[in-house]
Amino acid sequence: AAGKGFVAFSSSKPLLESVFGRKPRRSLAATPEFRYLTGKLPPGGLAEVYIDLRFVSSLKNTRTTRAAGRLGDSEFFSKLQGWKGLAGSLRAEDSGLGLEMLMHSDPMAVAEFADSPPLSQAVLDGVSANALGFMAFHVPRGFYEEILSGLGDSLAALEGGDIDLGRDVFSWLGGEVSLVVVPAGATRGIFPVGAYFSVATTQPSAAATGMRKLSEAAADLLGPEVVFEIRSIAGKDWTVLRSGESGPALGGYAIDPSGLRVALGQAGLEEAASHSAITSATSYRAVVAHLSPRSTSLAYVDVAGSLGVARRLLKPAEQAEWDEEIGPVLGKLDALAVSGAFPLVDKDGLMRMSAFLTVKP
């Protein structure tokens, strides 16, 4: 049906009639939550979205969710308790597209996020400038305890000999984490990409002991198929996992005062051990310039670089097809970044997240 300057689509005639016949005071625009959230969004957006989270939460006890079995009893609905609304705005700029997302909650329902600190410079310095993508964030308070509790009866099967996961692993894990994916390049080995994981440690000596115990347990489990060896990479000692006596490096780990790094593949080892920081990368600097200068979490994708890696994995005939059909469509995309603002939750219970996609000139 058409009317009032727009076209509405629905499978229900009464619903269409209500759309065009609704009085202004009973419209969504008249509700306090909608006015509050959309009033916080930047003006001039290309499109806006709004979801009444209180209504979504109320669906838990409806016939539909009960018929869906466990969905009605899942944590999805319990985590929505206290949330009021979600709003987003898409905007266009000369350099790309931006998205601003807001979620509003009762401040008490999100108290656990209120004290989330901003990401440190150290975690960004630990990300390679060659990264195809990375995620950096703070582990929520009580997260490790929840893992231990959730393992339950499986804990005994994971532990053995002299290993106690609570003492030897979770006791020294810190709160700041990053996961980095890098191109394999000339050292491709058996993986098309490399990766490494970094986590802050509260007790480096305890971390060294715990990782040594885990390595010894892995060696006993895997047998002669793998070999652990100490290797110096960029002046730092790494415990490297190798496939057999002369096979390629599968990964490894190193511990220093800044934390634990666990690498996958030869490329992951090389980039984790020695690299220029992501903050020196042109594409990264260009995209994060559109986000909050201080973030509690950050995700980044070098879209152009990732597409290049994907293309190189194709056969020649498939590459030609890519160049003809996909390249012209995606070739202008450069980088994508998503961040959680600092503070993550303000005194009014408002959580803000931003995203930006840069395009090449």
Amino acid at 355: A
CA 100/CA 42 separation, integer angstroms:
8
Confidence band (pLDDT; 50, 70, 90) for 271?
very high
Q: What is the DSSP letter of 117?
A: P
pLDDT for 72 equals: 47
Whole-number percent of the chain with pLDDT over 70: 88
Q: How many CA atoms lie within 13 A of 334 on its CB side?
A: 17
Nearest Cα neighbor of 297 from 338, 261, 336, 335 is 338
CB 174 within 8 A of CB 199: yes
Domain boundaries, the chain: 116-342
Nearest Cα neighbor of 136 from 151, 156, 121 is 121
pLDDT for 275 equals: 81
Whole-number percent of the chain with pLDDT over 90: 46
pLDDT exceeds cutoff 60 at 88: yes
Tracing tokens 């080995």 back to the chain, one arrives at: 189
Phi and psi, residue 294, nearest 5°? -125, 130
pLDDT for 43 equals: 87
Confidence band (pLDDT; 50, 70, 90) for 158?
low
3-state secondary structure of 1: coil
Tracing tokens 């266009």 back to the chain, one arrives at: 92
Mean pLDDT within 219-239: 86
CB 360 within 8 A of CB 330: no
User: Which CB contacts under 8 angstroms, 24+ apart, belong to 231-235?
Assistant: 233/269, 233/270, 233/273, 233/274, 234/273, 234/274
**Which of the pair, 265 or 246, is modelled with greater confidence?**
265
Strands (E), 202-324: 226-233, 236-243, 249-256, 259-264, 295-301
Confidence band (pLDDT; 50, 70, 90) for 121?
very high
pTM exceeding 0.75: yes
CB 36 within 8 A of CB 105: no
CB 249 within 8 A of CB 271: no
CA 298/CA 288 separation, integer angstroms:
9
For the ranges 108-112, 185-189, 276-280, the lowest mean pLDDT is seen at 185-189
Confidence band (pLDDT; 50, 70, 90) for 289?
very high
- pLDDT 10s digits, 294-338: 899 999 999 999 999 999 889 999 999 999 999 998 999 999 999
- pLDDT 10s digits, 95-111: 999 999 999 998 887 77
Tokens of 312: 């190189």
pLDDT for 62 equals: 57
CA 128/CA 300 separation, integer angstroms:
12
- pLDDT 10s digits, 190-224: 678 999 999 998 888 999 999 998 888 888 888 77
Mean pLDDT within 156-184: 79
